[in-house]
């Protein structure tokens, strides 16, 4: 049963990453100051999404082979309350909120003016996501050994 919850949590974070990437692309197009920073954001999102897909494939493969993940405490720990998957979900949701393009001329002007401070928040969130990406990558590499 833990396998289903883990796989579902991974899928949820992948979906959020896709949504954040969409918002980041739109934000970069609407806020010209952010245009040069968005490729880095999109690259980081693509990297973590790729690693999460590998992690989900690992869980699916072991589940199909009939191997319970109960013996893989490290892998299951990703899905614990305040675990890496939840932390990633929270960081990506916050990043999505930062990168949601404003609607309306006045709101876009405000968003344009706020980009320098928003950029710092985005960078902070990306650092958190990068550190979690490394956690996920370690689990993928360890479980493949």
pLDDT reported for residue 66: 75
For residues 20 and 96, give the distance between their C-alpha atoms in angstroms, rounded to a whole number: 5
Write the pLDDT tens digit of every residue in 36-50.
Answer: 889 999 999 999 999
For residues 138 and 83, give the distance between their C-alpha atoms in angstroms, rounded to a whole number: 15
Write the pLDDT tens digit of every residue in 128-141.
Answer: 999 999 999 988 88
pLDDT reported for residue 70: 66
Rounded to 10 degrees, the C-alpha dihedral 74/76/79/83 comes to -20
Question: Domain 2-144: which topology?
Answer: I/LWEQ domain (1.20.1410)
Q: Which long-range contacts (CB under 8 A, 24 or more apart) does 31-40 make?
A: 31/101, 31/108, 31/111, 31/112, 31/115, 32/112, 33/112, 33/115, 33/116, 34/115, 34/118, 34/119, 37/119, 37/122, 40/126
Which residue shows structure tokens 């999460």? 52
Which pTM was predicted? 0.86
- Evaluate whether 63 touches 7 at the Cβ level (below 8 Å): yes
Q: Given a cut of 50, is residue 15 above it in pLDDT? A: yes
pLDDT reported for residue 44: 93
Q: Given a cut of 70, is residue 69 above it in pLDDT? A: no
Average pLDDT estimate for 92-100:
93
Q: Where are the domains positioned within the chain?
A: 2-144
State whether residue 35 is helix, strand or coil: coil
């Amino acid at each position: 049963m833990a396998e289903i919850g883990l796989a579902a949590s991974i899928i949820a974070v992948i979906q959020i990453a896709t949504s954040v990437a969409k918002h980041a692309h739109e934000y970069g197009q609407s806020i010209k100051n952010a245009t040069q920073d968005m490729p880095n954001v999109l690259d980081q999102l693509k990297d973590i999404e790729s690693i999460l897909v590998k992690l989900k494939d690992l869980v699916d493969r072991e589940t199909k082979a009939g191997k319970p993940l109960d013996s893989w405490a490290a892998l299951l720990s990703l899905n614990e309350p305040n675990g890496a998957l939840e932390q990633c979900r929270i960081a990506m949701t916050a990043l999505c909120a930062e990168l949601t393009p404003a609607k309306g001329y006045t709101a876009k002007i405000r968003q344009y003016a706020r980009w320098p401070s928003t950029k710092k928040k985005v960078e902070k969130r990306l650092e958190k996501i990068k550190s979690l990406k490394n956690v996920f990558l370690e689990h993928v590499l360890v479980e493949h050994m």
